[in-house]
Amino acid sequence: MKTSTSALGMAASLLVSTSRAAVCKPLVKDALVGSIHLEDLMACSQDLQDIAYSTELRNRVVGTDGHKKTVQYITETLQSLGDYYTLEYQEVRTPATISSTSNLSVNGAEVEANILEFSNNGTWTDVPVVVVAELGCVAENYPDLTGSVALIARGECTFALKGELAGQAGAVAALVYNNAAVGKTGGTLGGPNELITVGGISRADGLRLAEAISNGEAVVSSGSFGSFVTDTVSQNVIATSKYGDPDNVLFLGAHSDSVAAGPGINDNGSGSCGLLTVAKALSNWRTNNQVKFAWWAAEEEGLIGAETFVNVTAKEQLDKIRLYLNFDMIASPNYVLSIYDGDGSAFNVSGPAGSAEAEKLFEDYYTANNIPFTSSEFDGRSDYGPFLDAGIPCGGLDTGADGVKTEEEVAIFGGVANQWYDPNYHSAKDTVDNLAPEAYITTGKAIAHAVASYGRSWAGFPEREPVAVTPRDVHATVGHHGHSLPF
Ligand SMILES: *[C@@H]1O[C@H](CO)[C@@H](O)[C@H](O)[C@H]1NC(C)=O
Ligand SMILES: *[C@@H]1O[C@H](CO)[C@@H](O)[C@H](O)[C@H]1NC(C)=O
Ligand SMILES: *[C@@H]1O[C@H](CO)[C@@H](O)[C@H](O)[C@H]1NC(C)=O
Ligand SMILES: *[C@@H]1O[C@H](CO)[C@@H](O)[C@H](O)[C@H]1NC(C)=O
Ligand SMILES: CC(=O)N[C@H]1CO[C@H](CO)[C@@H](O)[C@@H]1O
């Protein structure tokens, strides 16, 4: 009797402890960092690339099958974790360029060119190229361009203004050459328009053509530029952890879309996969603070997904976000390891109270692990822009986009000076083969460290100020334009 009672008792207590273990996961700790593996990050990136290449357009632009399948992939990955995350979807509507081609030749020789986002189509044959004076920001810079292609230097004013003035002077198309030796001019006209075709070429090609023209040589070009712009409907995916205080939320975001030119594997498949990998690892733990992950749509069209979220979410809910962390392009081939300059010490633009602490958390983590780092300016070119505008503290990491690597940075991080951090930025070459694995795993682990730290506690982190009623000045001047610059 006794024996059997005791045996029963043991079985019962075993049963209780097993089911309690299943219900009550251990509180998250820094061991989360150790469960982030490069193979998982790369496998996720490969999946996104396979998704892009399985579609006719071979990209992941909002509104295309490539983006729909990306949203489905994120959903299925999160659903495979059982009920750990509650998933929400938000509809995002925006016009987008979902495919484009650019073909340019001058005096019969091919010249590499881009068509700017939202440009109209254009085809021309054997048309003279004419140089526009200064930076082409005032009508006086433009000679009569009837039946010509305008050659304009980049700088000072928007591409859209240059296109408008060139069109008024009679040009059939405008070609904007770059203001630095970093590849072809790329950027956006800001939205659908009635302008002539606006394309971009490199500084070297622009100067070469301008010199030939000034030497009196005949310079004629032929072009065939096309872009398919359409209204799109896509979705933000937001995953909320089952555990943790919903009044003190840690919010992390990356964008799930690409530009038309390629599969967008660094930009920004890497941020998407970084978050997905950390979200999977976190599901083995309980948190004290609620953790939300967002995969934003339509970043490339001007941060539309993140802006939609901030616009449609009630102020009381926004006030519960203690910190927003952004991860965009975290495996750039010619990388630096950048932390957003939350305290303004590097660029004199600081974020709301808490942004400095978020910067310090990453700095301390990199320092403790003997990892060098640098600062990234809050320039509004990624999805944290609308959060900053609303007065929400922001932070995050990136590894560089179309900025130029300096000799000093090469001394610290290696790589190639006077080249872009991501030489494949917004191109068809932004693929898995061109990711920097060491940058990817370093950043992935740093994301896990932030989640482990703030998932546990906000100790030492400032209380939230209520969200701003009027947008902050920093954005009034910068504007929301995602990665694509308007000038
Ligand atoms: C360019 O031409 C294509 C094919 O005719 C058309 O579908 C598309 O809408 C045009 N693009 C723009 C920006 O008008
Ligand atoms: C968000 O709200 C602002 C201000 O009302 C508006 O200008 C902007 O177009 C909205 N953005 C989106 C994506 O809805
Ligand atoms: C990915 O991250 C980079 C760097 O922060 C950012 O500029 C970019 O807009 C993000 N997404 C895309 C599609 O480029
Ligand atoms: C930093 O910015 C403030 C205004 O935002 C300005 O008054 C100050 O002069 C700037 N400091 C430096 C060193 O540029
Ligand atoms: C008319 C023409 O030359 N079209 C080419 C333009 O460039 C794309 C690649 O960007 C080619 O696929 C087209 O054949």
Report residues whose beta carbon is within 6 angstroms of any ligand 5 atom: 101, 103, 224
User: How far apart are the CA of 248 and the centre of ligand 5, in A?
Assistant: 52
Every domain of the chain and the residues it spans: 14-94+232-477, 108-218
3-class SS letters over 245-296: EEEEEEEEEEECCCCCCCCCHHHHHHHHHHHHHHHHHHCCCECCEEEEEEEE
377 counts as catalytic: no
Q: What is the mean pLDDT of residues 449-458?
A: 98
pLDDT band at 478 (very low <50, low <70, confident <90, very high): very low
Q: What is the pLDDT of residue 14?
A: 43
Asked whether 69 and 57 are in contact (CB, 8 A), the reply is no
Average pLDDT over the chain, rounded to an integer: 88
Best of 90, 93, 235, 311 to mutate for ligand 2, by most ligand atoms within 8 A of CB?
Answer: 311
pLDDT band at 464 (very low <50, low <70, confident <90, very high): very high
Does 234 or 3 have the greater pLDDT score?
A: 234
Q: Is the pLDDT of residue 469 over 70?
A: no
Question: Considering the entire predicted model, what is its pTM?
Answer: 0.82
Does the domain formed by 108-218 have CATH 3.30.70.260? no
Q: What is the mean pLDDT of residues 265-292?
A: 90
The residue whose CA has the least distance to atom 6 of ligand 1 is 228
Angle between helices 437-456 and 355-368 (to 10 degrees): 120
Amino acid symbol at 179: N
Report residues whose beta carbon is within 6 angstroms of any ligand 3 atom: 255, 258, 264, 267-268, 271, 299-300, 328-329, 381-382, 398, 401, 482-483
Is the distance from the beta carbon of residue 227 to the nearest atom of ligand 1 less than 6 Å?
Answer: yes
User: How far apart are the CA of 193 and the centre of ligand 5, in A?
Assistant: 24
- 364/9 Cα distance (integer angstroms): 49
Q: Is the pLDDT of residue 176 over 50?
A: yes
Percent of the chain at pLDDT above 70?
Answer: 89
For β-strands 338-340 and 374-376, DSSP reports them as parallel
Which residues, 6 or more positions from 221, have their beta carbon under 8 angstroms from its beta carbon? Answer: 104, 105, 106, 107, 111, 124, 126, 127, 128, 129, 149, 175
Of the listed ranges 295-304, 310-319, 393-402, the least confidently predicted one is: 295-304
Q: What is the pLDDT of residue 263?
A: 64
Q: What is the pLDDT of residue 264?
A: 65
Alpha helix stretches (DSSP H) within 54-192 = 65-79, 159-168
Report residues whose beta carbon is within 6 angstroms of any ligand 2 atom: 304, 307-308, 311
- 71/92 Cα distance (integer angstroms): 13
Q: What is the pLDDT of residue 445?
A: 97
Q: Is the pLDDT of residue 217 over 80?
A: yes
- 359/80 Cα distance (integer angstroms): 33
The residue with tokens 């990388």 is: 335
Q: What is the mean pLDDT of residues 403-413?
A: 94
- 118/192 Cα distance (integer angstroms): 5
The residue whose CA has the least distance to atom 10 of ligand 5 is 101
Instruction: Give the pLDDT confidence of 1-42 residue by residue, as tens digits.
Output: 333 333 344 444 444 444 444 568 999 999 999 999 999 999
User: How far apart are the CA of 348 and the centre of ligand 4, in A?
Assistant: 6
Highest mean pLDDT among 23-32, 135-144, 229-238, 348-357: 135-144
Does the domain formed by 14-94+232-477 have CATH 3.40.630.10? yes
Helices (H) and strands (E) in the chain, counts: 13, 14
Instruction: Give the pLDDT confidence of 307-366 residue by residue, as tens digits.
Output: 999 999 999 999 999 999 999 888 889 999 999 999 999 999 999 999 999 999 999 999
Asked whether 346 and 383 are in contact (CB, 8 A), the reply is no
| Token pair in block for residue 332 | 């750039």
Atom index in ligand 2 nearest the CA of residue 310 equals: 1
Q: What is the pLDDT of residue 1?
A: 35
